Structure 1
Amino acid sequence: MTTTSGWREVGDRCFARRYEPFDVTCGVVVGDAGLLVIDTRMSTRQGRALVDDLSALSSLPVHAVLNTHLHFDHTYGNAALRERWPDVPLVAHETVPADLVADECRIKDRYRDEPDDPCRDEVLATDLVTPDAVFSSVWSVELGGCYVEAVHPGRGHTAGDVVVRVPSADVVYAGDLVEESAPPAYGPDSWPLEWPQTVELVVGLLSERTVVVPGHGAPVGKDFVLGQRVDLADVAGQVQALAAAGVPVDDAVARGSWPFGPELVEHAVRRGYAHLARP
């Protein structure tokens, strides 16, 4: 059900809202004492729009902000949340702060080279605000009548992926470990050989009725996640088989029979080969 504020209620006290560009999904969990905001969009300007949307949903203050992983379309709105609530903790996996800083030049150079991109100026104008409340395995918060936990199930889309579970509502916010509106995104910081097992651990958190909110797209259920895990395992298995057969990395994409377009698995192949070559 979509509320009059534009948020979709996906479970008791749990909301999601999709934003362009990239069809990114932000989440909110509403407790009696405040809100947990999950991901913040891709610029300070867009983060301020998110703050306005939060105000339309609830008059309660934001108790914490959680970034599901380091990527800019989920984190570059952090400054706006901190601007509105100066003391709010920014929560993420312990790898995220350093990786977010290391990735800033790549992201801003990319937008600098795209003068016609409508988001160019706002991304370049965004001041990076990194998470300051980090954890290695599990983080939890009591929002007042609503307990929430965040879990790092392993590496996959990035090294610091986090899923957020609301047990009382049977809702899981999965970040980009699960995507609905596009295939899983393998990037230069992905872990393609570990991703299937990481999603298998996420599956262990799900019941047959769990609502899973992906990092991009509409809410899904357990069967969708299981299906995506099959595709992830297919990619990982083919990368391992091609490498074991001595196929050069530059030829591997053309030699595979992939569940996604060849252009979507280029990073999976190169990252997989690199990880297999490590001692």
Structure 2
Amino acid sequence: MITILRNWTAGAALLLAATAAMASEDIADQYPQSELYSKPVEVIPHVFSAIGATAPPTYENSGHNNNLSFIVTDEGVVVVNGGASARLAKALHDEIKVVTDQPVVLVINENGQGHAMLGNSYWVDQGVDILAHVDAIEAFTSEADFILQGMQGYNRDKAEGTRIVTPNLSFEDTYEIELGGVKIEVLHLGPAHDPGDTQVWIPQWDIMIAGDIAFHERMLPIFAGICTRCWIETWEEKLEPINPTYVIPGHGHPTNLAQVRRYTRDYLVDLREKIGAHIDAGGDLASSYYVDQERWKNLDTFEELATKNAGRVFEEMEWE
């Protein structure tokens, strides 16, 4: 059984402080010798994450703009996110082999987006089971051809070998794994950023690989049809009671719950308040794009997403 180091909290705090200071939106590639955007770091003992760019997917970052994490146990490795391509998945696997001789026994897709699922083709060729929420599988399957073509468009030769592979394992609420004495709980806490959002919780180590329910270094995107009121409710009623000490978000460096609360839950509450006041004052969709979001302009992807988010929330709240 793997045991966590009791005196590691101070070291973790130093790591989180150091990595949080590293801006990544304007850095094309932090790890040029690999298709990974950055080399995996050990967030706490036995839990690693290759932190993706906070910029949109590009050829330079190989589509690695989300976090690719893995959990090492005495009986095998669990990977969180298949990666944006087969080649990117192989690059992650090469790094795992440097850390441990244990085989990868499971890949968990945190949602149905391309950078979570397109690398599944590599992992299934290694004989690895792949798990995702039923809603994530449905969302990916319905758009798989379009998602693959989009990745091929920016990734060009780096898309070689990638094909559409859907997970062979699914769950609805909770999927529990006991591996090497480590209990891993795969959760769907409720509606949030994307259909089938998945969180990976390791209670004995007090760490959550939170996926896209939680953002902090880049502005969160609000997609068409997403219920932001539901996202806030999921956060307050399901995520907060868990209260993890360590959080690996879907994008950005490992941090803590207070930090992702500020830039996820608090951002959503603030934007809904601004749009609500705009609607009460008789404002329309066209002018809703320009509600005041200056409080959040320090976030990466602010320029790409702030106005879109405002419009999506207006469309949602107009009929609430």
TM-score tier by shorter-chain length is 0.7 to 0.9
Q: Are 1:203 and 2:240 matched, yes or no?
A: yes
Partner of 2:193: 157
Number of residue equivalences: 268
2:275–2:310: 8 Å Cα contact kept in structure 1?
Answer: yes
Amino acid at match of 1:46: L
Deviation by residue 1:204-237 (Cα, 9 ceiling, x = unmatched): 2124xx1101112211012202212211211233
In 2, distance between residues paired with 1:255 and 1:180? 21
Taking a change above 3 Å as real, the CA distance of residues 246 and 122 of structure 1, as seen in their structure-2 partners, is farther
Partner of 2:273: 237
In structure 2, what is the Cα distance between the partners aligned to 1:175 and 1:39? 9
- Cα 1:161–1:43 shift into 2, 3 Å: same
1:226 alignment partner, one of 254, 261, 270: 261
User: 2: CA distance between counterparts of 1:34 and 1:199?
Assistant: 31
Partner SS, residue 213 of structure 1:
strand
Q: 1:9 to 1:231 in 2, by over 3 A?
A: same
TM-score by structure 2 length?
Answer: 0.75
Is the Cα–Cα contact under 8 Å of residues 66 and 251 in structure 2 kept in the other structure? yes
Instruction: Indicate yes or no: 2:110 matched with 1:74.
Output: no
CA drift at 1:108: 4.3
Give, in whole Å, the separation in 2 of the partners of 1:214 and 1:240: 28
Whole-angstrom distance in 2 between the partners of 1:51 and 1:243: 50
C-alpha separation between the residues in 1 aligned to 2:225 and 2:189?
17
3-state DSSP of counterpart to 1:174: strand
1:18 corresponds to 2:59? no
Assess if the C-alpha contact under 8 Å between 1:38 and 1:67 holds in 2: yes
Name whichever of 198-207 and 26-35 sits farther off. 198-207
Once the two structures are superposed, the pairs formed by residues 1-279 of structure 1 within 5 Å of their partners are: 6-20=39-53, 21=61, 22-84=64-126, 86=127, 88-110=128-150, 117=154, 119-123=155-159, 126-188=162-224, 190-200=226-236, 201-207=238-244, 210-228=245-263, 229-257=265-293, 259-260=296-297, 261=302, 263-276=304-317
1:266–1:126 Cα change, 3 Å: farther
What CA distance in whole angstroms lies between the structure 2 residues aligned with 1:111 and 1:127? 11
CA contact (8 A) 2:131 2:168 kept: yes
Flag the 1:189–1:106 CA change in 2: closer, same or farther, 3 A: farther
Taking structure 1 as reference, are residues 255 and 128 closer, same or farther at Cα in structure 2, changes over 3 Å only?
Answer: same
User: Structure 1 residues 265, 155: closer, same or farther in 2, change over 3 A?
Assistant: farther
- TM-aligned CA deviation for residue 72 of structure 1: 0.9
How many Å separate the matches in 1 of 2:150 and 2:280? 35
Q: Does structure 2 retain, via aligned residues, the 8 Å contact 1:192–1:232?
A: yes
The residue matched to 1:265 in structure 2 has which SS?
A: helix
For residues 32-61 of structure 1, what are the alpha-carbon distances to aligned partners after superposition, in whole Å with 9 as ceiling and x for unaligned? 211110012211111111221222222112
- Pairwise CA distance, 1:75: 1.7
**Unaligned residue ranges in structure 1 (runs of 5+):** none
Give identity over the alignment, percent. 24
Distance 1:79 1:110, change over 3 A: closer
Q: Take 1:227 and 1:82, find their aligned partners in 2: how far apart are those partners? A: 38
* Aligned alpha-carbon RMSD (Å): 2.6
CA displacement 1:235-267 (0-9 Å, x = unmatched): 233334434444222221124445354641344
Deviation at 1:163, TM superposition (A): 1.0
Per-residue displacement from partner, 1:68-96 (whole Å, max 9, x unpaired)? Answer: 11111122111111111x2x321111101
Structure 2: runs of 5 or more not aligned: 1-10, 16-38, 54-60
- For 1:32 and 1:124, locate their aligned partners in 2 and report how far apart those are by CA, in whole Å: 33
**8 A Cα contact 2:289 2:308, kept in partner:** no
Counterpart AA for 1:265: A
Given that residues 134 and 196 in structure 2 are in contact (C-alpha distance below 8 angstroms), is that contact kept between their aligned partners in structure 1?
A: yes
Q: 1:105 to 1:192 in 2, by over 3 A?
A: farther
